[in-house]
Amino acid sequence: PCSIFFRRRNFNMFWYTHNLFLVFTIVFMIHGAQSWLEPTQAVWYTLPGFAVYLLGRIQRKFEVDGNVEIVRASTFDNTTVLWTRKPRWNKFRFSTPGSYALLNIPEIAKFEWHPFTISSAPSDELLRFHIRNAGDWTGQLWNYVNEMESKSTSNSEKRTLGRFDTLNPSRVGLTNESLGVKMNMPFTHIRIHGPNGAPTQDYLRYERVVLVGAGIGVTPFASILREIMAKWRSKKCECCGHINRSVHESDLLKRVQFHWVTREQTDLSWFAPELSELASMDSEGRLEIHQHITGISVTGTETSRSLVETVQRVAHEKQSHDIISGITGAKQLTHFGRPHWKTYLRKIAQDFQGKRIGVFYCGPTRLENVLRIVCRELSESYLDRKLKFVFSHENF
């Protein structure tokens, strides 16, 4: 834990000291070149692996698009949101949601490459990255963009740019002049290498899946849900708004249970428009949306908790709107406190046997360990039904 904390907070020192292995490798290869005792052999043991490493670095050099335009940039709380064009080179094949790419901004650090999940869907026009301020590189990026926003004339423009749903500038009436990227930011282009596969891409192998994102770990599932929304939208009747059932019959995925665990209520507004649209199209109950706020305490007294829940429930009954998350049309209200995972996993396992349920998680290690244990215990308890929870995870 201490090494991880130090690496995140002092990545430059971590990166440069670890790259001293190049010096050590070269010294080791030439060590004993004088052959005082016998001919040197270290070079023959080391050279093959070192050559493979160099070939990999050279390959990346030719596979990188170093002129990808930043269309928009914004900060939202402690997160930077970047919208970029898709790389023009033909090897950039972003076809499966949940992928990640390596980003390099020479103006911040010429030799540093950092992996970030692509939070947009393959069908979107632009690539979108949500980058949490968690270190020197991400902190410097956040400062650049935040300084740009402070020079903007309209604070409402900043709020619009921070949302998950505004991917097309023309949809919100923004022009190059109003974006202010080229005018204020010290860089307008970045370098991208990828996309690369991640465990969440296996969600299409299951009929039922549970998607759990903690904090900024929601980004791969944002991409997955946007892709589901694009499929549903393509089969939506323009007259009645009904989703053609035949679109689901050919898909293996039949049911999705989505959880977003976050400390801040303001984070929920990132995703509200997309979840609202998904909820409105889910006429068959295939999607459950559960959002859990762990950083707001309403448990001080029973009265305060009851008051919040009553107002939330009344607003939902009258307008089908969750006043906490901002989602309209969802069947589930925002929850306060930590979720009881066994209850949710047992629910999705109802009337289901002889198959596997995929549980995908992205976030801190602590919750990963909890979900791993729960999946193992439930799989053992459902042996008579030959039902298994398959747990996959990725950490940031």
Q: Chain-wide mean pLDDT for the chain?
A: 78
Q: What is the mean pLDDT of residues 55-70?
A: 79
> Which pLDDT score is estimated for 137?
87
Q: What is the mean pLDDT of residues 216-238?
A: 81
- For residues 227 and 144, the answer to whether their CB atoms sit within 8 Å is no
- Residue 99 pLDDT exceeds 80: yes
> Which pLDDT score is estimated for 3?
64
Instruction: Name the one residue in this structure whose structure tokens are 């269309």.
Output: 71
Q: What count of other Cβ atoms lies within 10 Å of the Cβ of residue 48?
A: 9
> Which pLDDT score is estimated for 103?
92
> Which pLDDT score is estimated for 174?
33
> Which pLDDT score is estimated for 177?
39
pLDDT band at 254 (very low <50, low <70, confident <90, very high): confident
- Residue 50 pLDDT exceeds 80: yes
- Could you tell me what percent of the chain has a pLDDT over 70? 79
Rounded distance between C-alpha atoms, residue 312 and residue 329, angstroms: 13
Q: Are strands 287-293 and 255-262 parallel, antiparallel or unpaired?
A: parallel
Q: Which of 108-117, 188-197, 262-271, 282-291 has the lowest mean pLDDT?
A: 262-271
Q: What is the mean pLDDT of residues 58-83?
A: 82
- Residue 236 pLDDT exceeds 70: no
Rounded distance between C-alpha atoms, residue 324 and residue 337, angstroms: 14
Per-residue pLDDT of 156-194, as tens digits, reads: 444 444 444 434 433 333 334 334 344 456 678 888 988
Element (H, E) at 50: helix 42-63
- Residue 80 pLDDT exceeds 50: yes
- Could you tell me what percent of the chain has a pLDDT over 90? 13
Integer CA distances (angstroms), 354 to 323, 326, 343, 370, 373, in order: 40, 38, 20, 25, 21
CA angle 318, 282, 125 (to 5 degrees): 110
Between these two residues, 367 and 395, which has the higher pLDDT value?
A: 367
Rounded distance between C-alpha atoms, residue 77 and residue 263, angstroms: 12
How many residues are given for the chain? 396
Q: List the structure tokens of 126.
A: 């632009």
Report cis status (omega within 30 of 0) of the bond before 195: yes
Between these two residues, 196 and 91, which has the higher pLDDT value?
A: 196
Kindly give, in sequence order, each residue whose CB lies less than 8 Å from that of residue 152, ignoring residues fewer than 6 positions away.
Answer: 158, 180
Q: Which of 16-30, 117-131, 211-225, 262-276 has the lowest mean pLDDT?
A: 262-276
DSSP of 223-278, one letter per residue? HHHHHHHHHHHHTB-TTT-PBPTHHHHT-S--EEEEEEEES-GGGGGGTHHHHHHH
Collapse the DSSP code of 41 into the 3-class scheme (helix H, G, I; strand E, B; otherwise coil) and give the result. coil
- Residue 243 pLDDT exceeds 50: yes
pLDDT band at 64 (very low <50, low <70, confident <90, very high): confident
Q: What is the mean pLDDT of residues 90-107?
A: 84
- Residue 40 pLDDT exceeds 70: yes
- Residue 204 pLDDT exceeds 80: yes
Closest CA to 21 of 62, 53, 59, 66: 53
- Residue 344 pLDDT exceeds 80: yes
- For residues 318 and 325, the answer to whether their CB atoms sit within 8 Å is no
DSSP of 140-151, one letter per residue? HHHHHHHHHHHT
Element (H, E) at 361: strand 356-362
> Which pLDDT score is estimated for 341?
93
Between these two residues, 269 and 389, which has the higher pLDDT value?
A: 389
- Residue 358 pLDDT exceeds 90: yes
Rounded distance between C-alpha atoms, residue 124 and residue 120, angstroms: 6
- Residue 248 pLDDT exceeds 70: no
Integer CA distances (angstroms), 192 to 88, 101, 204, in order: 11, 7, 26
Rounded distance between C-alpha atoms, residue 164 and residue 169, angstroms: 13
Per the DSSP assignment, residues forming a β-bridge with 287 are: 256
Taking the whole predicted model, whether its pTM rises above 0.75 is answered as yes
> Which pLDDT score is estimated for 211?
94
- Residue 373 pLDDT exceeds 90: yes
DSSP assignment, residue 155? H
> Which pLDDT score is estimated for 186?
67
Collapse the DSSP code of 180 into the 3-class scheme (helix H, G, I; strand E, B; otherwise coil) and give the result. coil
Biggest distance spanned by C-alpha atoms of the chain:
89
Rounded distance between C-alpha atoms, residue 33 and residue 43, angstroms: 9
Q: What count of other Cβ atoms lies within 10 Å of the Cβ of residue 266?
A: 10
Kindly give, in sequence order, each residue whose CB lies less than 8 Å from that of residue 324, ignoring residues fewer than 6 positions away.
Answer: 265, 268, 291, 293, 312, 333, 334
> Which pLDDT score is estimated for 158?
46
> Which pLDDT score is estimated for 152?
65
Between these two residues, 158 and 342, which has the higher pLDDT value?
A: 342
Q: What is the mean pLDDT of residues 46-50?
A: 86
Q: Terminus-to-terminus CA distance in the chain, angstroms?
A: 13
Between these two residues, 166 and 97, which has the higher pLDDT value?
A: 97
Rounded distance between C-alpha atoms, residue 268 and residue 273, angstroms: 10
- Residue 363 pLDDT exceeds 80: yes
Per-residue pLDDT of 276-322, as tens digits, reads: 877 877 777 788 889 888 876 555 555 666 777 777 777 777 777 77
Element (H, E) at 182: helix 181-184
